[in-house]
Amino acid sequence: MERNIEQAYEAAKALYAAHGIDTDKAIERLASIKISVHCWQGDDVQGFLFRGGELGGGLAVTGNYPGAARTADELRADLEMALSLIPGKHKVNLHAIYADTDEKVDLDALEPRHFQSWVDWAKANGLGLDFNPTCFSHPKASDGFTLSHRDPAIRRFWIDHCKASRKIGAYFGEQLGQTCVTNVWIPDGFKDAPADRLAPRIRLKEALDEVFAEKIDPAVHLDAVESKLFGIGSEAYVVGSHEFYMGYAIQKGTLLCLDAGHFHPTESIAGKMSALSLFTSGLLLHVSRPMRWDSDHVVTLDDETQEIARELVRCGLLDRTHIGLDFFDASINRVAAWVIGTRSTLKALLRAMLEPADRLKQAELEGDYTTRLALTEEFKSYPFGAVWDYYCAKAGVPVRESWLDEVRAYERNVLAKREG
């Protein structure tokens, strides 16, 4: 480790220690946190099961930066490159369409063996895997409905797909010794005002009850359900609204997934977490960066990301919350997007751990809002960056922006040689 990094760290350590903040413990805590890195940033949500198909579900990826992964091997190589530049040991989040198989198999017939190469790779790299049924980009989702579809045969297809996905997720957990979170998100909704808001929700509840009927050891597998305010093609009504899934998660004991982009632009999921922690078994977060809508921009160290991290730390929710990323940007280097988003999320968590939370809470209890505001603002310029640099150096990953040189070399030597 470079001497200047150590010296800067020792100086920062002393400053934080004056407020009773142990930087060594903060680093140790941060190193134990696993971020679930989403695979679909690497190929623009295309997957390998139905090559060449159109992206559905109201999702959109903009940009045509060269070098998108075309095969599972390429995607894994890109992920390895990104993860080598991020401190800590993390997880990779897969969608069902990323099955690595030469078989012609539909979503409802997927089995763990179709993902064996992912399991072998994760095991070799000390990674965990999370999973998601892919309830979009399929002919049986072409009218915008899946688990709440009015046609029982189509509804059955999606129920069977979600049931198969849970078995795959359980296999991941058993094989890797890390709990797999399988998250259900569906695009179901109407473009214009519906005549009946209740019937689709009844069908969805009944479908989910069947999907989750089989009990799975929570040590290897957990279920999550995810809401959305609106989407392209579901502007007027979404079956799986926040209220629907909040009620379902509380009643059924699943995790509730909060996606930063799935609410009104002025809403922050950070403000919801403490309330939900009192009534749910746990939370799954999809950290994203919505820009006026669910645009899925690459996560940065902005106010929203910092506030999410602050709530996780101050409310003691880290042990009950699974942190995942969900963004996709094809206008920049895709490996860099993973690195920027994951490092930014980790920075936010570290910065939150280095705030004088106990002193701020005490000032609040005493009605001393002057001290609360003053300390909050002064700590924004405390040298958390020196602690972050030390953590990166200690973890054996590039310090500061030096990682970009490695990404550029990878782009020249690997990504640029891929044809579209």
- Burial label, 253 (beta-carbon count in 10 A; 0-12, 13-18, 19+): middle
Reply yes or no on whether 311 is catalytic.
no
How far apart are alpha carbons 122 and 76 in whole angstroms?
Answer: 9
All residues at 6 or more sequence positions from 57 whose CB lies less than 8 Å from its CB, including other chains: 135, 136, 137, 141, 187, 231
Catalytic, out of 130, 188, 294, 329: 294
Catalytic, out of 118, 158, 185, 338: 185
How far apart are alpha carbons 136 and 57 in whole angstroms?
Answer: 5
Q: Which two tokens stand for residue 135?
A: 């309830």
Reply yes or no on whether 262 is catalytic.
yes
Reply yes or no on whether 294 is catalytic.
yes
Would you state the torsion angle of the CA atoms of residues 312, 318, 322, 324, taken in this order, to the nearest 10 degrees?
50
Strand partners, 130: 93
Q: Are 286 and 36 in contact (CB under 8 A)?
A: no
Catalytic, out of 78, 100, 130, 296: 296
Reply yes or no on whether 405 is catalytic.
no
Reply yes or no on whether 326 is catalytic.
yes
Phi, psi of 357 (to 5 degrees): -60, -45
Catalytic, out of 34, 90, 91, 286: 286
Residue in this structure with the two tokens 């010794």, named with its chain if needed: 177
Catalytic, out of 13, 38, 228, 347: 228
Catalytic, out of 90, 262, 297, 322: 262
* Half-sphere CA count of 226, side-chain side, radius 13 A: 24
Catalytic, out of 43, 188, 326, 329: 326
How far apart are alpha carbons 223 and 249 in whole angstroms?
Answer: 9
Reply yes or no on whether 303 is catalytic.
no
Catalytic, out of 43, 226, 389, 411: 226
Calculate Rg over the CA atoms of the chain. 22
Reply yes or no on whether 43 is catalytic.
no
- The catalytic residue positions are 185, 226, 228, 259, 262, 286, 294, 296, 326
